[in-house]
Amino acid sequence: MASNFAVNNIRDFEFIIQEWLPTEGVFNYPQFADYYSKDDIKSVLDPVLKMCKAVIEPTNGENETHPATFADGEVTTPPSLGPLFHKLQEEGWGTSNIDNSPDAMVLPEMLNAAVWELICAANPTFMPYVLLTSGAAGLIQSFGNDELKAKFLPNMMNGTWAGTMCLTEPGAGSDVGDILSKAYPTDDPRIFKIKGNKIFITGGNNDFTENIIHLYLARIEGAKPGTSGISLFVVPKLWVNEDGSLEDNDFLNTGIEHKMGQHGSVTAALSAGENDNCRGWLLGKDPRDNEGKGEGMAQMFQMMNMARMETGHMALSCIINAFANARDNAKERVQGRLLTNPKAGRVSIINHEDIKRTLMMGKAHIEAMRAMMYRVYLAFDQRHRDPDPAVRQAANDLIDIATPLCKAYPSDEGWWLIGEAIQSYGGYGYCEEYPLSQIARDMKIYSIWEGTNYIQSMDLIGRKMNMKGGAVFGAWVQEMVDFHEANKGNEALSKEFSNLGKALDAYQAMLKALNGYTKTNMSMIPLYSRRILTASAQLFCGRQILDQAVLADKKAKEVGVEHFDYKFYTGKVAAAKYYLCNVVPNVWAVAEIVIDGDTSALDVPVDVFEY
């Protein structure tokens, strides 16, 4: 298989963190002030880029040639997966955003995100093992007592043990409130016996760590029905005794899924307590002492919200790598003559108009999505560490609104965008010898993971738009209106700001129609929700990439055409122009559809779908 990791520089990360985002405050937080500054971006990311090329990319092919297998209750993973996991955990990359002590040297969230973006592009299948271990450790860090932290965190952080999140069951997929897993009290009030079955558990088993620590949702007898009665338990594959020794915990892997992509990742079916001897530690309050209310879903959402961000970001990583490969292929492949000068001879296909359009379409989406993602990662740093309560609250509001956008938009658009990158190869793109087939198959899961994108859209409309009586969402829209008003006189980007203004007007008209449907026909909400989420993300991305373009245009004029950064800055401006003129118009197209209110999909009986 041809080289799969084609990302070749970190310049856009430098622009985002050093030039565009207001990151001075973050680097001045006490946690970072003695370790990092804005000038350290290159020193952190350059070695990661080299590691991705030299160490991580070579492992990616094994996901296809040596996929995960299951026999006699045990799994076998690609041979290089375990050594790679241990290397990254031992070097601290997998837990580089977890505080394990007051003086822990951790990365700012936005810088940590850049590290993980590169690693994921080099091997998407590997990333869930790292992210899930980090997420599970983070939950124990946040909600566990000192005993549990001491028992689990050191081995999880150094790679001796891995971690997962155990939610989905055969009869309860995204509707977690219907789970059947039960927890029964023991003589120890913190330890419960666990019985149940889980499916689709990513990283649910492996052959390279001593133990796997599952963060497991179950209902204690006597707790309320639905999501409000669910509790969260630390359920290790092997029970950890007081002296640190391990013993069987009656927690079995009963099979693995045979997936479209991500072939090196173990997606496991698990059975707990078949012999009545699976045990777990309760995190948080016992619902029997809390009016039947469990804390499991609230706790799990800490992990899930960041996991949703990371899922969208992994999709973006795949999009970036797909177009980087397409770019390299287009530079190297010579075919055809230019329509405008056929006598000049054959040219590299990157010079053909449709290929340039394809690559610009990729560049514009990538830079717009990346701008959206890193704006929100900055908010994670602010919410966690800023001393000003108003700053923390504003950051929290942005995270709440933007999380479904960041999860769903890249993972929805990635499928067709990577399809366009494949198209640029011609017939070669359909062949397994070229990397985009694997990238496409690996990417598709992200629109399904962590709540399907329909669920994300209903979260946006049903919850996020109505927080504090709609005030939070209204402020989010108003910020974009204010940005447009402050910049609409920009001569270099006048058409683009005009399009943003048109999109904002259409979007607000669409919101009025949406509000009307809540009173007249609630079925219209789920009918249009996914398209509304896409339009919301395109509007937000358009605002962010235009903000970048204003700065990049200024920088280009300052440095001049001879400067080595001139092409970078003018490329940023071009990407923004493409996005505002070719993508953002979808916002008013969706608005027209929603306002028109076509109900043809609702009006027909279901038997019309027979073919």
CA dihedral 492, 498, 503, 509 (to 10 degrees): 150
**Amino acid found at 63:** N
Q: How much is the CA Rg of the chain, to the nearest whole Å?
A: 25
Per DSSP, 91 falls in state T
- Which residues touch 409 (CB under 8 Å, ≥6 apart)? 312, 369, 372, 533, 534, 537, 538, 541
Rounded CA-CA distance 100/113 in Å is 19
Q: How many helices (H) and strands (E) does the chain have?
A: 21, 12
Q: 329 CB contacts (<8 Å, ≥6 apart)?
A: 424, 425, 428, 434
- Under 8 Å between Cβ of 260 and 168: no
Q: Which residues lie closer than 8 Å to 548 by C-beta, 6 or more apart?
A: 15, 16, 20, 367, 371, 572, 576
- Secondary structure (DSSP) of 218-242: EEETTPPSSGGGEEEEEEESEEE-T
Residues 6+ apart with CB under 8 A from 456: 308, 404, 407, 408, 533
109, 117, 295, 450: the catalytic one is 450
The yes-or-no answer on residue 257 being catalytic is no
Rounded CA separation 56/52 (Å): 5
Give the alpha-carbon dihedral of 147, 148, 150, 156, to 10 degrees: 170
What residues are annotated to the active site?
Answer: 450
